[in-house]
Amino acid sequence: MNKKLLYIFLIISVLFTSCIPVKDLVYLQKKGNSEKENSISMIESKPYRLQTHDVISITIKASDPKLVAIFNPTADGSELDQSESGLYFNGFTVDDHGNIRIPVLGEMNVMGFTLEEVRLKIEKQLLEEYFKDNASIFVVVKLAGFRYTINGEVGSTGTKTLFQEKVTIMEAIANAGDITTTGDRKTVTIIRKTPNGTEMKDLDLTNINVMDSPYYFLQPNDYIYVKPLRQKTWGTGTTGIQSLTTIITLLSLFTTTYFLFKG
C-alpha cells in the first residue's frame, strides 16, 4: 500500500513539474506592482541612426518630374520597384565608410544620421546647387524594409522584412509565427549592434511592464533569440496528457523489465 502511495505521489510530482503552466504562455500580464491599469502611456522610441550595410530608398519628386529624373535610380522616370529585391538593387547601401552614392549629387556621408536628417541634407544640397529656393521639390528617405533576424523556439526562423517604419518585439514574433509552446517567453534575448558595440537584453514578454523597455521597439538588423524551456529538454511533454502518457510508458517499460529479470 505504501508503495502505491509513493508511485501516485511520484506521478503527481512529475506531472506538476513537467507541464508548462498557463502563466508562462500568456503575454503582457499584470504582475506585482504593475501600474498599467487600463492606462495609456507614451513609449519612448528613439529615431534610428544609420549604420554600415543599411539599405535606404531615396526618391526625389517635383511638380515637373523631368527636372528631378536624373537624381532618381530609374532615370527613365518609371516607377521604382517597391518589392524587397527591387529596393535592394535600386536602393542606396551604406558602405564601410558610412557613405552612399547618389546620382549627380555624388558621395554623401550618412553614418549616424537619422532618416529625417538625411532628407534635410539632400534637400539642402539640391536647393543650394541645382534649384532655386522656391522650387517645389519633395524628398522621401526610407529604409528599404525593416529587417530583423529571429531564431530559436518560434514558428518560422530566419531573416524577416517588414515594410513599416516601426516594429515592436510583439509584432516581430507574430510575424515569425509566434513563440512555440516550449519557448521561454520570460527571457527573450535581443542582440543589437550599435556604434559603441553590441548590446544584449533579455525581455520578459509575460510582463506588461515590458512595454516600457527601450528594447520593446526593435531597431533594424536586431537579432532575436527565444530560448527553450526546461520541459523541452526533459522530453516529458508540454501538457498533462502528454506527460501522463510518457510516465505510463516508462512505468510499463520498468514493470516489463522487472518481471523479465525476475523470471
Among candidate residues 46, 43, 48, 44, the one with its CA nearest the CA of residue 143: 48
Pairing of strands 223-228, 146-152: parallel
Q: Quick one: CA dihedral 59, 61, 64, 68, positive or negative? A: negative
pTM: 0.74
Return phi, psi of residue 46, to 5°. -75, 145
89 within some domain: yes
13 within some domain: no
* DSSP-derived secondary structure letter, 176: T
Pairing of strands 183-194, 158-162: unpaired
* Grid cell listed for 37: 491599469
- Are 232 and 182 in contact by the 8 Å Cβ rule? The answer is yes
71 by DSSP, 3-state: which? Answer: helix
3-state helix, strand, coil in the chain (%, to 5): 35, 25, 40
Among candidate residues 37, 72, 40, 39, the one with its CA nearest the CA of residue 58: 72
Q: Do 61 and 87 fall into the same domain?
A: yes
pLDDT per residue rounded down to tens, the chain (263 residues): 455 555 554 555 554 455 667 787 889 898 776 555 555 555 666 789 999 989 999 988 888 788 788 887 654 445 555 566 677 778 899 999 999 999 889 999 999 999 999 999 999 999 888 887 667 888 999 998 899 999 999 999 999 999 988 999 999 999 999 999 999 999 999 999 887 889 999 999 999 999 999 999 999 999 999 999 887 665 555 555 555 566 666 566 666 766 666 65
Q: Do 61 and 129 fall into the same domain?
A: yes
Q: Do 194 and 152 fall into the same domain?
A: yes
161 within some domain: yes
Characterize 166-191 residue by residue with b for buried, 16 or more Cβ atoms within 10 angstroms of its Cβ, and e for exposed: ebbbbebbebbeebeebbbbeebbbe
Residue 66 maps to which CATH number? 3.30.1950.10
Residue 168 maps to which CATH number? 3.10.560.10
Domain of residue 189 covers: 145-232
207 within some domain: yes
238 within some domain: no
